[in-house]
Structure 1
Amino acid sequence: MSDVKHSDPDCIFCKLVSGKIPAKKVYEDEDIFAFHDINPWAPVHFLLIPKRHIPSMAQVGPEHVDVLGRMMALAPRLAQEQGCRPYPEGGFRMVCNTGGDGGQEVHHLHIHVIGGPRPWVKG
């Protein structure tokens, strides 16, 4: 898709991926980067992002199915490793804001994984 680039030099998440800005890393592989949120809403709060710069879910196409599927499949394992209790008593929330009306603040596709004992600060 035309809005998708390998990297955007002005994107804070692309800078995290490249190591130009430090991050408290949760996970990394060839295509995916996960890191702790700097303003967590809950005891467990990290973000999963594709390393490739995709501005939002609105730009996702068939070529992104593999990486997004892998992100979704990875989330439960990382959530538990980061301290979420197992399903069904425990669990976690996944949030992917898209665009201004959807509350997206950083325009690099990202999925918040949020969990831990309630009540949480938000949500």
Structure 2
Amino acid sequence: MRMESNRSSYCVFCSIANGTEPTTEILSQNDELVCFRDVKPGAPHHYLVIPREHVGNCKSLRKEHIQLVLRMEEMAKAVLQMKGISDLQDIRLGFHMPPFSSVPHLHLHVLAPATQLSSRSLRFYGPQSFWFLTVENLLKHLREAGPPCY
């Protein structure tokens, strides 16, 4: 599923996924995905789920990546439940649209409880944020027309 070949620049998320970033606590992982804490949390629980393979961002995705996004969502919810979050209606799951993503490697933001997001966090991750694309909206775009084109 390699999305970008011949990358010459360093990617911190690739280093985390490959286990060469020793300061990162891995919360969950499998052959395809890795989940860890966000270094600048916007909620009491703020995690990132990334694919091990480098994928540029959500605009790099195509219809054939729907299952990847669904597996990322599944891991996100499993980690939240492992951390004691039982109300999966009070969460925010989504991706920042370029150029508003800080690391150019696909990463799903996992935030809970959503009702405890600060006003600053709501600007970045809230329902009114025009640069935060929820999993549901991304999947809708991928199923209907291809990658999001905001």
Query: Normalization by structure 2: what TM-score?
Result: 0.68
Pairing 1:21–2:18 present: no
35-44 or 55-64, which deviates more: 55-64
Structure 1 gap segments, 5+ residues each: none
* Equivalent position amino acid for 1:29 in 2: N
Tell me which residue corresponds to 2:75.
74
Residue type matched to 1:111 in 2?
Answer: L
Deviation at 1:63, TM superposition (A): 3.9
Residues 98, 104 of structure 1: 8 Å contact kept? yes
- Give the match for residue 137 of structure 2: none
Which structure shows the higher helix fraction? 2
Q: Percent identity?
A: 25
Alpha-carbon shift at residue 13 of structure 1 (Å): 0.2
Kindly indicate whether residue 107 of structure 2 is the aligned counterpart of residue 110 of structure 1: yes
Match of 2:132 in 1: none
Q: How many correspondences in the alignment?
A: 119
Unaligned runs of 5+ in 2: 123-150
1:47-69 alpha-carbon deviations (Å, 9 max, x no partner): 00111100111111244233222
**Residue range with higher mean Cα deviation, 64-73 or 9-18:** 64-73
Higher relative contact order (CA 8 A, sep 6+): 1
Take 2:108 and 2:67, find their aligned partners in 1: how far apart are those partners?
Answer: 15
